[in-house]
Amino acid sequence: TGGHTTEILRLLGCLSESYSPRHYVLADSDKMSEAKIRSFEQKRAETFSESQFTLDRIPRSREVRQSWISSVVTTLYSILYSLPLTYKWKPDLILCNGPGTCVPVCISAFLLGLLRIKRTIIVYVESICRVETLSLSGKILYYFSDYFIVQWPDLKKKYPKSVYLGRIV
C-alpha cells in the first residue's frame, strides 16, 4: 500500500513490454493501490498497446500491530488463498518489494516449485527506507527469494546473499 505501491510501479516503469501480462496481488483491505495501478497501466498502454494486466486480492497476512501469534494464523490463511492464484497464473517471475501481502504469494510460488508444478523466479527488492535492518517481509523472503536486492551498502554487509545495486527507486 502507499509507498510500496509507488516503489514497485517505479520499478515496473523501467521494464520492457515483454513483461506482460502483469498480475498484481493486493491485500483485500488495500483501498489506495488499485487506483495507482490502474493509472500506471493506463499510461503504460499509451506506449505499449498490447499491455495486459490483472488485479487480484488476497486476505492481508498481517495487520499493523497485530500479535505475532495471530499473524501466523492469518498468514497461513493468506498462503492457502494464494495457492490457487499462483497455480492459475504460473508466473515466470514474481517481483515484490516488501508489503506483507507478498509473503504468502512468494511462499505459494515456492511451494509450486517444490512440487515441480512451476518454477518461479522470485525477486525481492527491499524498500529504500530500510537502511540498517530488513523489514519483516525481507527477513522471511531472504530465504525464499532467488534475488534479494538491497539499496544500502550496510544491508549488503549484514546479508551476504543480497545484491546491492544502489538506489533503484
CATH number of residue 34's parent domain: 3.40.50
Q: CA dist 32 to 35, 98, 141, Å? A: 6, 16, 24
Q: Which secondary structure element, helix H or strand E, spans residue 58, and what is its range?
A: strand 53-58
Structural domain that includes position 56? 2-164
Whether residue 26 is predicted with pLDDT greater than 70 in this model: the reply is yes
Domain assignment of residue 140, yes or no: yes
Q: Supply the pLDDT for residue 2.
A: 64
- Report CA torsion sign: 98, 22, 123, 113: positive
pLDDT digits (tens, 9 = 90+) for 117-143: 999 999 999 988 888 899 989 999 999
Q: Supply the pLDDT for residue 34.
A: 93
Domain assignment of residue 33, yes or no: yes
Instruction: Find the DSSP H helices in the chain.
Output: 3-12, 33-47, 68-89, 102-114, 136-141, 153-158
Domain assignment of residue 118, yes or no: yes
Domain assignment of residue 54, yes or no: yes
For a pLDDT cut of 70, what percent of the chain falls above it? 96
Q: Residue 124 contacts by C-beta under 8 Å, 6 or more apart in sequence?
A: 96, 97, 98, 102, 106, 137, 138, 141, 142, 145, 147, 148, 149
Cell 493468506 identifies what position? 78
Whether residue 1 is predicted with pLDDT greater than 70 in this model: the reply is no
Domain assignment of residue 86, yes or no: yes
Domain assignment of residue 131, yes or no: yes
- Report CA torsion sign: 14, 59, 138, 2: positive
Per the DSSP assignment, residues forming a β-bridge with 150 are 164
Work out how many domains the chain is built from and give that number.
1
Domain assignment of residue 36, yes or no: yes
Domain assignment of residue 169, yes or no: no
